[in-house]
Amino acid sequence: MMYHVRFNNNHYQAGYNFGQKLYQKQLLLEDKIALFQTSKRKAFMQTCLPIYQKFYPEILEEIKGIADGLKLTHEDLYTFLLSMYCFEVENKCTCFAFHNGKETILARNSDFLVELEKTNMNCLYSLDHVYAFQGNTTAFVEMEDGMNEHGLAIGLTFIYPAIRKPGFNAGMIVRYLLEKCQTTKEAVDKLQSLPIASSQTLTIADRNGEVVVVECNPEQMAIIRPQQNESFVVTTNHFHTSKLYPYNNFNVDNWKSEERYQTAYRTLKTHTNYSIDLARDILSGKYGFMCQYDRKTGADTVWSVIYCCQRKTIFRAEGNPSRKKFREDKR
């Protein structure tokens, strides 16, 4: 099961209310946050701070609110959140999107460490002066997938960070785009204007049927659109374009990234009945390796989600989709 949270009001007050609830329930974060308080991460956070102040001051207010509610220093929580995804990454994921002429669907598996799955969150955000959205995360207020009130859906996959520079990290990028954009085109345009700190791919889909994958790191960006006579995109935990491919690190364990990619790509290439059922079956491993991890190794798919952009409906399995049922979120 996931921890379900609602955020309302302005960014600071929403953060403060959340931090206070965590404090009252004794869900304290000092030990986890302390692991991130290295001199290297603190210095990196300081270089990123002016960028967030320029592009996304609201999120800094939310972090301040959380810190105040938890009785932590702002600096410690900034270091924890703004340096995340930029040094090492344990999250692995598969994401794809397709348009069948009537519906646009984005689907994603989140593969993560079993020991941390109780901290996974499903969040409903309805804050002042930004678009409301629902999202899922292993990373506190940073989002890893979600869909907003305009039917814009975004899914993140992580790439091992070969380089890092001051800018937005992966989870903050998703959060920012969900709050600020209505369409895939608008999201891509905004993304191209942001300094980027980490390495990732972003699958983006909207109610108009436009689906893309954006591969990006602090130095390069490539936009992947459906190939001729195709209406889908797929990505996992490595870069595919010639521009980004040199940044892959094949010496790290990517949890069968290429095998997962081939399973999703081959299935979408050979099927024409694009539907919620097909998305569910791919995510559940019906067509090849996708989520069939041995939990005894400490790795598993910890949630699976399907976003339907036109209807703005969400189906989520809170756990491995080969064992847990997808249920519609009717909130």
Residue type, 77: L
DSSP, collapsed to helix, strand or coil, labels residue 94 as strand
Within-domain flag for 2: no
155 and 37 in a common domain: no
Residue 52 in domain? yes
pLDDT of residue 28: 60
Same domain assignment for residues 175 and 295: yes
Judge whether 2 and 136 are in contact, CB under 8 Å: yes
Which pLDDT score is estimated for 295?
85
pLDDT tens for the 331 residues of the chain, in order:
788 999 999 999 999 999 999 888 876 666 667 667 899 999 999 999 999 999 999 999 999 999 999 999 999 999 999 999 998 766 689 999 999 999 999 999 999 877 777 779 999 999 999 999 999 998 889 999 999 999 999 999 999 999 999 999 999 999 999 999 999 999 999 999 999 999 999 999 999 999 999 999 999 999 999 999 999 999 999 999 999 999 998 888 678 899 999 999 999 999 989 999 999 999 999 999 999 887 878 888 999 999 999 999 999 999 999 999 999 998 8
- Give the CATH number, domain containing residue 125: 3.60.60.10
Predicted TM-score (pTM) above 0.85: yes
Any bridge partners for residue 314, and if so which?
A: 307
Claim to verify: residue 153 and residue 286 sit in the same structural domain: yes
Closest CA to 201 of 249, 145, 149: 145
- At which of 37, 58, 82 does a domain end? 82
Q: Please enumerate in sequence order all residues whose Cβ is within 8 A of that of 256, keeping only pairs 6 or more positions apart, or say none.
A: 289
Helix (H) or strand (E) holding 164: none
In a domain, residue 288? The reply is: yes
Do 73 and 102 reside in the same domain of the chain?
no
Report the sign of the C-alpha dihedral through residues 47, 202, 136, 190, in that order.
positive
Res 114: pLDDT: 78
- Give the domain-ending residue among 26, 60, 82: 82
Q: Does residue 125 sit within a domain? A: yes
| Separation CA 145–CA 306 (nearest Å) | 10
Asked if residue 67 and residue 37 are part of one domain, the reply reads: yes
Residue 19 lies in a domain: yes
Q: What is the pLDDT of residue 297?
A: 81
3 in any annotated domain = no
Domain identity same for 29 and 130: no
> Which domain-ending residue is among 82, 115, 138?
82
Domain that holds residue 31: 8-82
Judge if 63 and 97 occupy the same domain. Answer: no
Residues 234 and 171 in one domain: yes
Q: Are residues 201 and 286 in the same domain?
A: yes
Give the chain's domain count. Answer: 2
Are 209 and 285 members of one domain?
Answer: yes
Judgement on whether residues 110 and 234 belong to the same structural domain of the protein:
yes
**Domain match, 58 and 115 both:** no
Q: What's the pLDDT at 31?
A: 66
- The predicted pLDDT at position 5 comes to 94
pLDDT value at residue 267 = 98
Which residue bears the tokens 């999120």?
59
